[in-house]
Amino acid sequence: MRYLNVPCSYCGELFVDGDDIVTCPVCGTPQHRTCWQEHGCCANAPLHDTGFAWNTPKTEEQKKKEETAVSRNEKENSEKITQCPFCGAQNYANELYCSACHEPIHPNASARAGSPLEDEEQRELMYQDFRTYGGFNPQEKVDDISVQEYAEYVGGKSGGYVRRFIIMSRNRLAWNWAAFWAAGVALISSISLGPVWFFYRKLNKIGILFLCILFAMGAIGAAVCVADPAYWEYMDRTKELYFDSLVLAQQAGADVVQIMDDMTANMSIAVQTYAENCSKVTQMWSYISTGIYSYVLPILSGFFATGFYFKKAKGDILSVRDQYGQSPDYMQRIKQKGGVSVPAAVISAVACILIYLLMQYLPLVLRAVGIV
């Protein structure tokens, strides 16, 4: 039977062997004879004037195969390389603008930007377009989400992140300098601001985890210091040098510059003495904590921050699509869900500084209250 398991266009029931079926002489739509007689015309009669012709509906398996083939073709096309005619840089074939010189390398780019080499206004339009969409077509899909949706979610000059998302969609790591340097502040100071970037981009769970790691490391460091006699000798010597210098500076005719120089020299000796006399546990923790603060956390942030952001962006956009996909303010909803949070970034920076100060002076506080 030709129409076996095909739904009737009127009642929707699947045709089975023995059904009395009639087909429309105009468009070929099959339907139960009783349905035809009940309604007096073809189910698709309103479409006859448009030239509509009925075709056998595709099965879910056929649809999946076609979607897979289309996705494979799009991916293969996106990974083909084309050379920029202006600077010779290599670019993906689906890019509108060169990633190196930002000149148009695709006909659609020229159509959007006019003649950028001759018209400064059009050139600015082209660069604005590149900064927003990273050189890609706004309607291009990345994991079933358009470049335009990602750009709205990121906000601001989103082109850089759009490009990273496309790299991530090809199962490659995309380095994140902003996240690296936020954590890499520890390279030049004792304070790590690693959580700041994550809170700024609304990755609050990762930011909280980062804060917990910093707090735990600070607590361990404080505990190590409390248990080391050399630490207390160092702190007593520091206190002694400070008060001695303060007394000398208050004397009439005191040479403050010389006093400060002497104090600096004596502090250097005290630090060296502490380094020589501290326990092996303190030395080991010093090496471990320095490595984690200055290298491990910044490098991990640089490598994986974009991946976390890409995953969150996809989840948030699909969530908004489920709720407001047909709404006229759909893009505005995406923009509100994404974007950045300056207050959260500021609060996290303050939290990082407080954690540092707390752990620096926790042993002294414990000593002052008589716990150690």
For 240-274, how does the pLDDT look when each residue is reduced to its tens digit (9 = 90+)?
999 988 888 888 788 888 989 999 999 999 999 99
The reported pTM is 0.69
Residue 353 · residue 191 · CB < 8 Å: yes
> Rounded CA gap, 341 and 53, in Å?
53
**DSSP H or E segment with residue 362:** helix 342-368
For residue 291, give the nearest of 195, 217, 350 by alpha carbon. 217
CA distance 358 to 191: 12
Beta bridge partner(s), residue 23? 30
| Per-residue model confidence (pLDDT) at position 297 | 93
SS3 state at 340: coil
Question: What is the per-residue pLDDT across 188-242, written as a single tens digit (0 to 9) for each?
Answer: 777 889 999 999 999 999 999 999 999 999 899 999 988 999 999 999 999 899 9
Cα 92 from Cα 69, distance rounded (Å): 20
Greater pLDDT, 284 or 51: 284
Mean of the pLDDT values across residues 144-163?
91
- Tell me the average pLDDT across 168-181: 87
Express as a percent the part of the chain with pLDDT over 70: 89
Over pLDDT 90: what percentage of the chain? 37
- Residue 257 structure tokens: 């510059």
Q: pLDDT tens digit string along 95-118? A: 777 877 777 777 666 555 444 455
What integer pLDDT is reported at residue 119 of this predicted model?
A: 59
Euclidean distance between CA atoms 114 and 225, whole angstroms: 66
Most trustworthy range by pLDDT among 16-20, 91-95, 365-369: 16-20
